[in-house]
Amino acid sequence: MEGIESIWFYPLALFVALVTGIGKSGFGMAGGLSVPLLALVIPPAKGAAIMLPLLLVTDCASVYAYRKHWDRSNMRILLPAGLLGTAIGWLIFRVLDENALRIVLGVIAVGFVLNTVLRRQVATSKVSPAKGYFWATVSGVTSFVAQAGGPPLWVYLLPQRLDKRLHAGTTVMFFAALNVSKIFPYWSLGLLTVGNLAASAAMIPPALVGIVLGIWMQRRISTLWFFRVTYTLLFLTGVQLLVQGTRRLM
């Protein structure tokens, strides 16, 4: 497949597809592993491009499932800011160095895990236009350049302590809208190549299996232990990306 030389891409792609499906079944934070893992073996921009069609397909099931469960007061703040972030990401994408992107991904991954571990007691907050505009804009940028918009959004949403289903639905609707908004920019940047689309198409079946597996896991596996494993993998991947990106830049 064009531009893919590492034999490690294929087992990683299978794992990423499964994790993406599991994330769409309710373990939303697991999706943060996708591009950081792929960036270990292929350029981050290519990983983001491969993930977009996959995310669009899996978004369909998530949007239908949560169509009645999302916070409209938050969305009025988040969506315009997220679209602004998409536009900013589009503008700066061509000037971002491949290894600089790896470092950005590493910082996002490690920073999110450390923030989650260290901030066990976070004060409850309410809907805030100022905070919402800021974090949703950052989320839009990181989502565009690396499909890693979750951490900035969760910094804003988690302290509100929304009902679990309402939180998941708001996140799903926000990123579904952003993913649709990326189609033309990604095409204009030459990211939606035949090779990338073929790789994405090959990942759709295991992603659908992941959705079924995730539903099964919700009933039988401790959510706490699932996220412990996910955070550990995300942290180790982030550290490796930081090391990899720094060495290559130097």
For 127-155, the pLDDT digits (tens) are 888 999 999 998 999 889 878 787 788 77
Query: Range with the lowest mean pLDDT among 1-5, 161-165, 234-238?
Result: 1-5
Inform me whether the pLDDT recorded for 245 exceeds 90: no
**CA quadruple 69, 70, 72, 73: dihedral sign:** positive
Query: Phi-psi bin for 171: left (phi > 0), alpha (psi -120 to 50), beta?
Result: alpha
CB neighbour burial string for 41-51, b if at least 16 within 10 angstroms, e if fewer: bbebbbbbbbb
Q: Is the pLDDT of residue 213 over 60?
A: yes
| pTM greater than the 0.85 cutoff | no
DSSP 8-state symbol, 8:
T
Apex 212 CA angle, 155 and 82, nearest 5: 30
Per-residue confidence (pLDDT) for residue 46, from 0 to 100:
86
Q: Where are the domains of the chain?
A: 9-249
More confident residue, 69 or 198: 198
pLDDT of residue 201: 93
- Greatest pairwise CA separation for the chain in angstroms: 50
Q: What was the pLDDT predicted at 230?
A: 67
Question: Quick one: pLDDT at residue 96?
Answer: 80
pLDDT at position 1: 47
